[in-house]
Structure 1
Amino acid sequence: MTSFDLVLPCYNPIPGWATNLLASVTRLREALPEAEPHIILVNDGSAQGVSAANIEELRRALPQFTYVDYALNQGKGHALRTGVQHCKHPLCLFTDIDFPYEETSMAQLFRVLAAGQTDVAAGIRDSNYYSHVPPARVAISRTLRFLTKQLLHLPVSDTQCGLKGFNDAGKALFLSSQTKRYLFDLEFLYMSARQPGLRVQPVEVRLKEGVVFSKMPLGVLSSEGYSLLKILLRG
């Protein structure tokens, strides 16, 4: 059976997250019987929510499991790069710890990579996504899509979908990215579009029913605006 790496960043997760993770992995196995995930959980300096009992539960239940933690919160981009450094297999996927996208979508994205059709598979959210998020996040998402298309000319306009995957070529490029927080996806796809010979393919994915996204604080918006400016200037 083929194995692949699945990296999950974790920061102050809600109660029940470990049980949900195991249930999601079970559904993923059912949707993808030909492959076994190696779960890489990265605790990005959580102040609460992650206990020794949680980690022991996961170690007992998962045949392939790696746990990485550090004391100071660094941001999702940093957490994912840290997790990818612990990958053991040629193909890697990453998503959020609450598995917000349907497991069948994760399986589809894996199969595109496994078939050798691309080096980077980037999830793109269908139109139903916007009914699950606050108006402010809708505006941010649509603005980023506009900027991505008009200024960056990327092959994927939906850069912020939290489900992506890559092979070894994409992995090497991902590890060379620098953005620590939310816009790491945009930076990675911006770099991918400028890497000669690197193939990037969008894959439509579906959000699970009942998933609700939180509001984004103004402080985060300002800092990510600065990150966007740095990415544009670097190009």
Structure 2
Amino acid sequence: MAPVFDLVVPCYNPAPGWAYHLLSNFQNLQACYPDLALHLILVNDGSTRGILPTDVAFLQDHLRHFTYLHHEANQGKGFAVRRGVQASENPLCLYTDIDFPYTLESMAKIINGLMQAEADILAGVRETEYYAQVPPIRIKISQALQLLTKHLLHLPINDTQCGLKGFNQKGKQVFLKTKTNRYLFDLEFIYLLSKAPSRPSIQPVTVELKPEVTFSRMDAKILFQESFSFLKILFRSSVD
């Protein structure tokens, strides 16, 4: 059975046991679609620890449709996801985090919506309950971004930063035009969609976190870097 769906997963300095957990999560998702072959694209974003040749071999041995990409220097999540999407060869594509933080039901909403051609892009949006599992600083960042995207960029959805999105070839063409390498690549993607001459359709999909998922605090250095990323996107919006 030839795959029709690519799942892109970026990876950087993963926790011990990551390969086993990734395989388990991927197999659980695949079990929901016995008549659909899923292709996993794992992108190692310049990890300095945590990924061994035996980990990659383990996944290669257990997955029929698997691609492993690696670049030497850490470039950021946006860069890694973009590289994975660029390597995607199938009609439909989905990306998420290596720990599969969203429920199977949430991922199924995205997959089903794309298969039924409900829109060119299906973007996860997080429920209010999501913030109960998030450190206060991340809550403030998310809320600030939602206000800025609503009032400055006038985007079709306010929650741009949910790490679960899927798209068809029309959406892929727009995604590959993003330039942001780190945290705000999702925001840039939604912005470019709103300006694309091809007028791709986008549909928000309410998603839920798994109850056991926890988030770490965001490093101050990353916040500083991403403030410049936002200014670049904002400047881009003013000249387009």
Between the aligned partners of 2:33 and 2:143, the Cα distance in structure 1 is 32
Between the aligned partners of 2:63 and 2:119, the Cα distance in structure 1 is 29
Between the aligned partners of 1:222 and 1:51, the Cα distance in structure 2 is 32
Partner residue, 1:78: 79
Residue aligned with 1:93, SS: strand
Shift of 1:155: 1.2
Shift of 1:176: 1.0
Shift of 1:207: 0.3
Between the aligned partners of 1:126 and 1:18, the Cα distance in structure 2 is 29
Amino acid at match of 1:85: Q
Between the aligned partners of 2:219 and 2:73, the Cα distance in structure 1 is 20
Sequence identity, in percent? 51
Residue aligned with 2:87, SS: coil
Residue aligned with 1:158, SS: coil
Partner residue, 2:205: 203
Query: Which of residues 215, 218, 228 in structure 2 aligns to 1:216?
Result: 218
Residue aligned with 1:85, SS: helix
Between the aligned partners of 1:68 and 1:86, the Cα distance in structure 2 is 9
Between the aligned partners of 2:65 and 2:36, the Cα distance in structure 1 is 12
Q: Which moved more, 1:178-187 or 1:31-40?
A: 31-40
Residue aligned with 2:209, SS: coil
Q: CA offsets per residue over residues 103-150 of structure 1, 9 Å max, x none?
A: 121111011111111111100011111011100001001111111111
Residue aligned with 2:40, SS: strand
Partner residue, 2:90: 89
Between the aligned partners of 2:53 and 2:87, the Cα distance in structure 1 is 21
Shift of 1:154: 1.1
Task: Report the RMSD for the aligned CA atoms in angstroms.
Answer: 1.0
Partner residue, 2:64: 63
Q: Which runs of 4+ in 1 moved over 3 A?
A: none
Shift of 1:88: 1.6
Q: CA offsets per residue over residues 42-91 of structure 1, 9 Å max, x none?
A: 00000000000100010011110000001100000110111111112010
Amino acid at match of 1:39: L
**Is 2:51 the counterpart of 1:41?**
no
Shift of 1:225: 0.6
Q: Which runs of 5+ in 2 are unaligned?
A: none
Partner residue, 1:53: 54
Kindly indicate whether the alpha-carbon contact (under 8 Å) linking 1:125 and 1:206 is maintained by their aligned counterparts in 2. Answer: yes
Residue aligned with 1:214, SS: coil
**Is 2:190 the counterpart of 1:225?**
no
Between the aligned partners of 2:35 and 2:105, the Cα distance in structure 1 is 13
Partner residue, 1:140: 141
Between the aligned partners of 2:106 and 2:63, the Cα distance in structure 1 is 21
Between the aligned partners of 2:28 and 2:106, the Cα distance in structure 1 is 11
TM-score by length of structure 2 reads: 0.95
**Is 2:177 the counterpart of 1:180?**
no
Kindly indicate whether the alpha-carbon contact (under 8 Å) linking 1:44 and 1:74 is maintained by their aligned counterparts in 2. Answer: yes
Residue aligned with 2:109, SS: helix
Amino acid at match of 2:58: E
Between the aligned partners of 1:184 and 1:108, the Cα distance in structure 2 is 22
Between the aligned partners of 2:121 and 2:129, the Cα distance in structure 1 is 24
Map 1:157-176; keep pairs closer than 5 Å: 157-176=158-177
Q: Which runs of 5+ in 1 are unaligned?
A: none
Kindly indicate whether the alpha-carbon contact (under 8 Å) linking 1:31 and 1:104 is maintained by their aligned counterparts in 2. Answer: no
TM-score by length of structure 1 reads: 0.97
Shift of 1:32: 3.0
Aligned residues: 235
Residue aligned with 1:35, SS: coil
